[in-house]
Structure 1
């Protein structure tokens, strides 16, 4: 998404009144109320844009209950919808009809159960998903004084049909009494200034939406008056906020004011099956003040500002000197050490639940932001005691501190309680826990198919599930049982035994995933199999699976890939000859269901009943084959926590100009493979090769037990 944003080169500097000749013919005073999207705008860019709009008498406002036009650095409809949603606007896209709608089609859709074929990417391991998107933490700065009341505005026109100074084609006008908003690129403002008159929106219109619900206006007084009143009522010296910067004081004071005005409502509205609105989960109160919250499902504002005891009071309360990575603002988690079971696990558990909620409601940006916050706090070596400690951490800000204040004051977070108690979220989470079912498919099961439990899937949609999903449902309870370290090691030893029989003793098997990060129990078993001879890894995965199936260790093969063997085990270029992106992480792999074929009473049970079932728990096992010359990338690519892996790819892209994944490294400029481990691999172990990759990337080696970024 940042690539899209960066393609819109910010030219706000050219909008400055000091560098632009004022055009007397341009008058923006008749426009509807305008609000600015501050995301991706630097402070100076935002100030310049506001100053320029004021020069032409544009009706600027920060009251979202009145704003009609939103101007910012926004390039896609999805981003526009997110920005509107984050300001508590419930909208749906306003599409122009080419012909009158059919009264038959307008009657609504049936609420009958129906079978819908569903595909899912859940079966693809998380560390194989390419995620080079930069962090996008939305900041909503509403400190601007209110613009004059502009409810009764005159829709201005463009010169597309110019006649004697009268513009006949309306720009901001609707054919009905609907409440409509427009999201417009800032380029349009610059174009209008350059032309000296209003221009059609054309490609500068990102999104036009019909407003279903707006937040209530809380700005009945000026911002200055509101803050002054709060300051008199709550002396700074008697609150925890004595330790916060002035900006945070303002934000938290507003949050407290909001808490007294918002009525208590359920966070989520029960699913209205058959109603199109129910198809997108709208309960979104999972973040601090400016994160997405649907007003129709708003929870009571968090208990943020209770009076605190002396243990949290005082300007003189000191916290430990932050580590160097905090002082330097290191944002990539692959550049710092993050151990498991740190001093702030209780608070992190709350944040992880919020992130899960964001996952289930399809808020990718929120998931990315919370992942960054969680990884940063997890790396902090001291027990947090003050909100200003959090505000200093890379990726965290006053919004994160607000959650911490609530946690410290009440011992809980309202958004987490809402998530855990909401029935719809319970159903979505149960579906999401099915192997092979992602968040999108889980929502489809619930909102579209109206299923509320596993039995519904089996009864009404079994034949529409793909094979992986069917197996995920069949062994649902067993796959949720974690695997002790001893059992992980036993499974790996069996795999190596069969690989050695097929090749020789030089076969290496490296257990990766959560086991390598030190987890006492794992959800599944991931292992990298390699051999110093290139020809020995070709086709090995198929032979191994056949051997293990014959020995009854593998009961089901979910996925079998021989792409690496089929291309001669050569690293793919970053882009193909015609410039199209190629598939990068194409290592040979088999994702299988594993079961120990021996159990203590097997002989007796089989004697009594030849068809006796094996009672051993089914396990999920991933066997990945890596050529020796890139085994270090494979081990590294499968050993870190999710955020560590994401940041590793982001770091390689931003700092080195490379594309990194578990199959190798390529140059983004030339498209050629970069053989950090040498053309024939490292002379040593896969762990030695991994260290060589760290060195080649210019990174300090981080032991796997310090890559626990969650």
Structure 2
């Protein structure tokens, strides 16, 4: 057997990973009862590896404790096991298993050995049967274990149920087992006996009502409806058009097969969207796949697609040259394919909520590529020529073109679990993982649950996010963004001088009519003037009651002497993408029309003005161009900018500056003292130094 070892993907025992264990074909966990992973004491990577391993060997993994029977995790004592179950609202009591009567034959053999050892020749009374010394018990246990192993190997085939979790009573029984048991199964290549791996066996007297009526993965479990043949669009292979008619005849001749969504097994990878060239449905590119599906076909007028390539508009140069970096092409807002892109954005959000990072990146690439395409898409072959898109992407397009929607997107929007996760994900300070923890582990379904049951477990930022949940979701119009920036500049000038610059970045600079928050880069031509400036600005604004809460205050760049972030060495610990001084604050206009009257009537009158999210970033003048550039592009633009700098120039780019990956030295594209001009001039100098054509901010809308 081949053995693949990957030391980076290990749990405490050192080998449990889908790609790092002895992968024996005989192991099949499909016969065990529904199993839940106890995430307590598991790091994120350990939790992921355990779940991927269970899926790899077809274990019935679930998050619904109302039907789970097996619980596996880092649990060492009965008390801890009982606590874990009760935390999940299970009412349990230990199931005391009666000792199996000894076999009469084995008992006789045992007594014979005993008499031989002790020299006794008297007749054994009936009371001696079933009574043995500790030594005899060890012998019997050894024989039973050997017999059990042989019996297990014979019975653990797919045609026999697993004997490991046998329940001979009519009771609702649950088992809590150590993580080592899963590793033992993988290593042995078959279901291993529980033995010492069993921590706790109990009778379940009460279970919580299932709040997860549909699994989060079940959003893709509905059978897709075949489009009417009279309204279908020909879906051809971009690289194999000669077999279109033959495939169409084959598809039309037989019945449309029923589609079945199944989780793909990818080892350590969440998805492999770009693997292969099969004309598969879109779920395959996100880690979920159909067992089979027929592409929608235009059966009545296939001849109209002969020579169809000549009807396509001439693609832009970046398509012809297969330019893959978003920082090398124009991407305007409100392009001709916005309606289709909205569907893809919904899918990307779903991938985010189910923790499919690879799927999120893949969809981001697809969305950015289509958004940059200047023409209305009319045919799947036209779409497939775009960088990052292939036949799998075209299946999405075909379904949308034929039906006006994508069924999986409809399912996602209507799924109750997804609705809850989306609402939690919209809390400022709560990411996808925390949202899933709220829903699946804590069984919370609305904000009131968080406030009532988990308020003290939230960190301060999350508490503020919940408190101002509705207000933070209200978009900020451009005039208000400008007014906020002018107030910040006014206070900064008081603290320094009128050479202070404030550049509004983010969605505002890309031309959005309204923004989710306000991002601004503050700078000054003198290096010493930006050191510690963010703290002074925040204190001044707090004193004037513009800032109600300071969520995050960072002086990392000041403490580093305002130098570019050192290139991370192999031995050193790395820092995040953005290490500039910054303050993330909650903003509220202290003035309101009836303020004077309200305060006269009640000195503690509440300010009715809406709360806003504002980010104040301080950049030293010599790298202000990098800061403005790094904070002005859409997410994919920024990602591809870093990838381009690495692949093409051998540099490491972030908003604090640029470093050479070979020498670790700073690369001063703006000059060691900065550009003589504006922050926008400095940004253009960075584009030039990177050998990139300047792209106006309103054409960096990559989402």
- Aligned partner of 1:334 in structure 2 is 327
Whole-Å separation in 2 of the counterparts to 1:99 and 1:566: 43
Contact 1:357–1:419 (8 Å) recurs in 2: yes
Q: Secondary structure at the match of 1:261?
A: coil
Cα contact 1:90–1:294 (8 A) shared by 2: no
Tell me which moved more, 661-670 or 429-438: 661-670
Give the match for residue 55 of structure 1: none
SS at match of 1:437: coil
Residue number among 634, 637, 640 corresponding to 1:644 in the alignment: 637
**Are the structure 2 counterparts of residues 89 and 349 from structure 1 closer, same or farther at C-alpha, using a change threshold of 3 Å?**
farther
SS of the residue 1:290 aligns to: helix
Q: 1:646 to 1:104 in 2, by over 3 A?
A: closer
Instruction: Specify the alignment match of 2:121 in structure 1.
Output: none
Q: 1:33 to 1:445 in 2, by over 3 A?
A: closer
Q: 1:99 to 1:345 in 2, by over 3 A?
A: closer
Q: Quick one: which of 514, 526, 535 aligns to 1:533?
A: 526
Aligned pairs (5 A) from 1:201-600:
240-241=234-235, 244-246=238-240, 260-262=257-259, 288-292=282-286, 304-307=295-298, 313-317=304-308, 318-575=311-568, 579-582=572-575, 585-600=578-593
- Counterpart in the other structure of 1:127: none
Distance 1:367 1:312 in 2: 38
CA shift, 1:582, in A, is 4.6
**Paired residues of 1:330 and 1:394 also in contact (CA < 8 A):** yes
Distance 1:240 1:482 in 2: 41
Partners of 2:362 and 2:652 lie apart in 1 by 22
State the Cα distance separating 1:316 from its structure 2 match: 3.3
Larger mean Cα displacement after TM superposition, 596-605 or 465-474:
596-605
How far off its partner does 1:177 sit? Answer: 2.2
Is the contact made by 1:242 and 1:315 (CA closer than 8 Å) also made in structure 2? no
Give SS of 2:376's match: coil
Cα separation, 2, equivalents of 1:33 and 1:577: 40
Answer yes or no: is the 8 Å Cα contact 2:238–2:384 preserved in 1: no
Distance change in 2, residues 1:79/1:391 (3 Å): farther
Deviates more, 1:537-546 or 1:580-589: 580-589
Shift of 1:109: 1.9
What are the equivalent positions in structure 2 for 1:643-682 lying under 5 Å apart?
643-682=636-675
1:349-377 deviation line (CA, Å, top 9, x unaligned): 00000000000000000000000000000
Query: Which residue does the alignment assign to 1:26?
Result: none
Contact 2:674 2:682 in 1 (8 A): yes
Match of 1:225 in 2: none
Cα offsets for 1:211-238 (capped at 9, x unmatched):
xxxxxxxxxxxxxxxxxxxxxxx999x9
Whole-angstrom CA distance in 2 between matches of 1:448 and 1:469 = 18
Could you tell me how far apart the structure 1 residues matched to 2:511 and 2:229 are? 48
Matched position secondary structure for 1:383: coil
Deviation at 1:110, TM superposition (A): 2.7
Aligned-pair CA distance for 1:262: 3.0
What's the offset of the Cα at 1:585?
2.6
1:175-205 Cα deviation digits (max 9, x unpaired): 97277xxxxxxxxxxxxxxxxxxxxxx9xx9
Written as runs of structure 1 = structure 2, the 5 A alignment for 1:102-121 is: 105=81, 109-110=85-86, 112=88
How far the C-alpha of 1:319 sits from its partner, in A, is: 1.1
| 3-state SS in 2 of match to 1:619 | strand
Q: Which has the larger radius of gyration?
A: 2
Distance in structure 2 (CA, Å) of the matches to 1:490 and 1:101: 60
1:261 positional shift = 2.1
Between stretches 351-360 and 544-553, larger displacement belongs to: 544-553
Question: Residues of 2 paired with 1:174 and 1:701: CA distance?
Answer: 67
Comparing 95-104 and 603-612, the one that deviates more: 95-104
| Residues 448, 100 of structure 1: alpha-carbon distance in 2 compared, 3 angstrom cutoff | closer
Tell me the alpha carbon deviations over residues 296-343 of structure 1, each in whole angstroms, 9 at most, x when there is no partner.
xx8x98784154676994223311010000000000011100000000
In structure 2, the residue matched to 1:177 is 156
Moved more, 610-619 or 536-545: 610-619
Note the 1:137-176 alignment, pairs <5 A: none
Instruction: Calculate the aligned-residue CA RMSD, in Å.
Output: 4.6
> How far did 1:569 drift?
1.1
TM-score (normalizing by structure 1): 0.65
Give the 3-state SS of the residue equivalent to 2:412 in structure 1. helix
2-structure distance, mates of 1:603, 1:96: 62
User: Which structure 2 residues correspond to residues 596-615 of structure 1 after superposition, within 5 A?
Assistant: 596-615=589-608
Q: Report matched runs for 1:44-55 at 5 Å.
A: none
Asked if structure 2 preserves the Cα contact closer than 8 Å seen for 1:555 and 1:593, the reply is yes
Counterpart Cα distance in 1 of 2:323 and 2:89: 51
Whole-angstrom distance in 1 between the partners of 2:404 and 2:359: 23
CA shift, 1:601, in A, is: 1.4
User: 2:145 is matched with which residue?
Assistant: none
Q: Flag structure 2 segments of 5+ consecutive residues without an equivalent.
A: 9-23, 28-44, 63-69, 91-151, 159-182, 192-227, 264-269, 274-279
C-alpha distance in structure 2 between counterparts of 1:255 and 1:105, whole Å: 54
Go from structure 1 to structure 2 and tell me whether the alpha carbon gap of 1:206 and 1:667 turns closer, same or farther (over 3 Å shift).
farther
Q: 1:292 to 1:640 in 2, by over 3 A?
A: closer
The answer to whether the 8 Å contact 2:248/2:299 transfers is no
Shift of 1:207: 13
TM-score, scaled to structure 2: 0.66
**SS at structure 2 position matched to 1:624:** strand
Deviating above 6 A after TM superposition, structure 1's stretches of 4 or more consecutive aligned residues are 76-104, 173-176, 205-210, 250-258, 300-303
Q: Which moved more, 1:615-624 or 1:310-319?
A: 310-319
Contact 2:233 2:402 in 1 (8 A): no
Cα distance in structure 1, aligned partners of 2:26 and 2:229: 35
Unaligned runs of at least 5 residues, structure 1: 8-30, 35-75, 115-172, 180-201, 211-233, 269-280
Q: In the aligned structure 2, how far is the partner of 1:498 from the partner of 1:99?
A: 56
**The residue matched to 2:553 in structure 1 has which SS?**
strand
Larger CA deviation: 564-573 vs 630-639: 564-573
Residue number in structure 2 paired with 1:151: none
- For 2:85 and 2:248, locate their aligned partners in 1 and report how far apart those are by CA, in whole Å: 45
Tell me, in whole angstroms, the C-alpha distance in 2 between the residues paired with 1:105 and 1:626. 52
Which deviates the most, 91-100 or 333-342? 91-100
Structure 2 CA distance for partners of 1:376 and 1:97, relative to 1, 3 Å: closer
Q: What is the SS of the residue equivalent to 2:541?
A: helix
